[in-house]
Amino acid sequence: MKKEKEDWSRLYHKTLKGIEAMINVQRIVKDMKMVEEMNITITEMERTILMASINNQTVNTMNIIQISEDL
């Protein structure tokens, strides 16, 4: 009886360790997805800032040309 109880106890702890490992893998995957989403957002922000900078340079160039023509 004692041996059977020890076997069940070992099986129970082994099962808990397996479940814990699966939970850890799920957390890692979730974190990876969050990082991927953040990287996409950052890339989109960089594109927006770059486009704004290019547009600003174009406007500044046009203004300088217009000022020099007016002079």
Tell me, what's the pLDDT at 7? 85
5, pLDDT greater than 90: no
Cα–Cα distances (Å) from 12 to 7, 17, 29, 34, 51, in that order, read 9, 9, 26, 33, 59
Rounded-to-integer distance, Cα 54 and Cα 50, Å: 6
What tens digit of pLDDT does each residue of 34-44 get?
A: 999 999 999 99
